[in-house]
Amino acid sequence: AEPAPQSASDPNYSGCVPVASDVDCQGGSGDGPAYVTGPIRVIGTDVYRLDHDKDGFACE
């Protein structure tokens, strides 16, 4: 069997943060359309503004 296709991940984050028009933290007040469960390390630019306290970790 072939492995399931993987969706594109944003290279600004370690772990898989989807590439979408907007990504929000699961369980937060954001309206998506995509959601991610953290914590996730920000390794580039926090393009989705998931790291609210700017400590390098998003959705904690």
**pLDDT tens-digit readout, 19-49:** 999 999 999 899 999 999 999 999 999 999 9
> Which pTM was predicted?
0.80
Letter string b/e over residues 23-52, b meaning 16 or more CB atoms within 10 A of that residue's CB = bbbeeeebeeebbbebbbebeeeeebebbe
Contact indicator for 51, 57 with CB cutoff of 8 Å: yes
Domain ranges of the chain: 7-60
Strands (E), the chain: 23-25, 34-36, 40-41, 57-58
CA atoms in the 13 A half-sphere facing the CB of 50: 34
Q: So what's the pLDDT on residue 15?
A: 85
Residue 1 has pLDDT above 90, yes or no: no
